[in-house]
Amino acid sequence: MSQDASEATGPRGFIVWFTGMSGAGKSTLSRAIRDRLQSTRSVEVLDGDEIRTFLSRGLGFTRPDREENIRRIGYVARILARHRVAVISAAISPYRDSRNEVRRLAAEEGIPFIEVYARASLEVLVQRDVKGLYKKALAGEIPHFTGISDPYESPESPEVTVRTDSETVEAGVERVLATLRARGLIA
């Protein structure tokens, strides 16, 4: 009469943490992965722009405010993952220490954490920027712009790096899914 633990609890929750500069493709990749997983399990995307609107309103773009934003996203991600949700975070998260803190806190709870670095050249980011924010930042018109007037600290050893300026969305998605399969997180 005893039920197998995996049957009783369902699939394990985990966090896929996309990091990269504005326009690097984090949201696009996140939505594509969500679309691939949602037929088989609960999936939530925590998009940086939406989080700033609904959870972190009032925070600015100073380093302490950016770090607090990442802490909040990490906290929500852990809550969801505890309840067997596949959580996909798509936030610039420019500081290595903040990302490492989110990883450490997840590990302390036994929540798998996969860091994905969405990477593209500055030239491509400027070309993709329909709002012209990079051009304004490069002209000194926007203070605290990540990667221009504020630092972006690239991950030192992400589980996956997707070169969004030279590979297709589908190829990047497949590499992330392959990593999740290799870790036994998805079938």
Confirm whether 151 is domain-assigned: yes
Confirm whether 187 is domain-assigned: no
- Asked whether residue 8 carries a pLDDT value surpassing 50, the answer given is no
Verdict on whether the full-model pTM lies above 0.85: yes
Stated as kind and residue range, the H or E segment containing 7 is: helix 5-9
Confirm whether 118 is domain-assigned: yes
- Asked whether residue 6 carries a pLDDT value surpassing 70, the answer given is no
Q: 28-58: per-residue pLDDT in tens?
A: 999 999 999 999 999 999 999 899 888 888 8
Any binding-site annotation on 27?
yes
Tokens of 12: 């394990």
Any binding-site annotation on 20?
yes
Active-site residue identified among 93, 121, 149, 157: 93
Any binding-site annotation on 13?
no
Residue from 36, 40, 46, 43 nearest 86 by CA: 43
Any binding-site annotation on 21?
yes
Residue from 154, 147, 151, 153 nearest 129 by CA: 147
Known active-site residue 93:
yes
In whole numbers, what is the pLDDT of the chain averaged over residues? 93
| Whole-number Å distance between alpha carbons of 109 and 42 | 19
Confirm whether 27 is domain-assigned: yes
Any binding-site annotation on 25?
yes
Any binding-site annotation on 121?
no
Write the CB contacts of 124 (distance below 8 Å, at least 6 apart in sequence). Answer: 164, 165
Confirm whether 149 is domain-assigned: yes
Give me the number of domains the chain comprises.
1
Confirm whether 10 is domain-assigned: yes
Stated as kind and residue range, the H or E segment containing 88 is: strand 86-90
List the beta bridge partners of residue 115: 17
Confirm whether 123 is domain-assigned: yes
Q: 55-110: per-residue pLDDT in tens?
A: 888 898 889 999 999 999 999 999 999 999 999 999 999 999 999 999 999 999 99
57: domain range? 5-182
Share of the chain above pLDDT 90, in %: 86
Identify the CATH number of the domain in which residue 158 sits: 3.40.50.300
